[in-house]
């Protein structure tokens, strides 16, 4: 099971550029918990990983016509999401 300590930050914004001009990043625990609950309950959630030397090693996300929502994960978070059976996208 994924817990909030296994997440780094969340992003919510309009589709397109994710530099911060179309939405906001938030590292607060409350924002990460809300994103975690919403994304993991959504059947359209996607899961992606990457090799990184920074804090994040992957993310879960949902793209709609009007909104992009992302939750960035630590390596332990990536392992937890894999154990939950969320299919990894390429």
21 Cβ partners below 8 Å, 6+ apart?
none
pLDDT tens readout for residues 18-36: 998 999 999 999 999 999 9
Q: Report whether 69 contacts 58 (CB < 8 A).
A: no
* Alpha-carbon span 78 to 72, nearest angstrom: 9
Q: How confident is the model at residue 57 (pLDDT cuts 50, 70, 90)?
A: very high
Query: What pTM was estimated for this model as a whole?
Result: 0.93
* CA trace torsion 34, 36, 40, 44 (10° rounding): 80
If DSSP codes are grouped into helix, strand and coil, which group holds residue 9?
Answer: strand
């Amino acid at each position: 099971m994924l817990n909030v300590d296994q997440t780094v930050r969340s992003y919510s914004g309009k589709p397109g550029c994710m530099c911060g001009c179309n939405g906001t990043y938030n590292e607060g625990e409350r924002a990460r918990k809300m994103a975690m609950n919403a994304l993991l309950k959504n059947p359209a959630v996607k899961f992606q990983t990457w090799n990184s030397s920074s804090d994040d090693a992957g993310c879960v996300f949902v793209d709609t016509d009007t909104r992009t929502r992302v939750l960035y994960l630590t390596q332990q978070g990536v392992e937890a999401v894999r154990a939950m059976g969320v299919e990894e996208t390429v």
